[in-house]
Amino acid sequence: MDLLGWVIFIVALLVSVMLHETGHFALAKKFGMKVTRYFVGFGPTIWSTWRGETEYGIKALPFGGFVKIVGMHSLDDPDDPEDEPRAFRSHPAWQRILVLLAGSAMHFLLALVLVFGLALGVGIANDNVTQLGTISACVPASVSAYDNGICTPSDPASPAKLAGLRIGDTVTAFDGHPVSNFTQLTDLIRPLPPGTPVTLTVRRDGKLVNLHTKLANVKGRSGSYLGVAPAVLFQVASPLGAIEYSGTTFGQVMVGSAQAVAALPRALPKLFAKDRSSTAAGQVSSVVGAAEATGTEVASNAGWQYKVSFVLLLIASLNIFVGAFNLLPLLPLDGGHIAVIIYERIRAWFARLRGRPDPGLANMAKFVPVSFSLFVVLIFFSLALVLADIVNPVSLTGG
Q: Which residues are catalytic?
A: 21
Three-state SS at 395: coil
Give yes or no for a contact between 302 and 232, defined as CB atoms under 8 angstroms apart. yes
Shortest CA distance to 350 belongs to which of 360, 362, 358? 358
Strand pairing report for 170-174 and 197-204: antiparallel
Classify residue 158 by burial, with Cβ atoms within 10 Å: 0-12, 13-18, 19+.
Answer: buried
Amino acid at 75: L
List the Cα angle 309/302/112 in 5-degree steps: 5
CA atoms of 371 and 354, how far apart (whole Å): 31
Beta bridge partners of 125: 234
Q: Around Cβ 148, how many Cβ atoms within 10 Å?
A: 12
List the Cα angle 154/293/311 in 5-degree steps: 130
List the Cα angle 302/284/269 in 5-degree steps: 135
CA atoms of 391 and 367, how far apart (whole Å): 36
Strand pairing report for 170-174 and 35-51: unpaired
CA atoms of 30 and 28, how far apart (whole Å): 5
Q: Around Cβ 9, how many Cβ atoms within 10 Å?
A: 23
Q: Which distant-in-sequence residues (6+ apart) come within 8 Å of 236 by Cβ?
A: 119, 120, 121, 122, 123, 124
Please state the φ and ψ torsions of residue 173, each to the nearest 5 degrees: -155, 150
Q: Side-chain half-sphere of 143: how many Cα atoms within 13 Å?
A: 15
270: left (phi over 0), alpha (psi -120 to 50) or beta: alpha
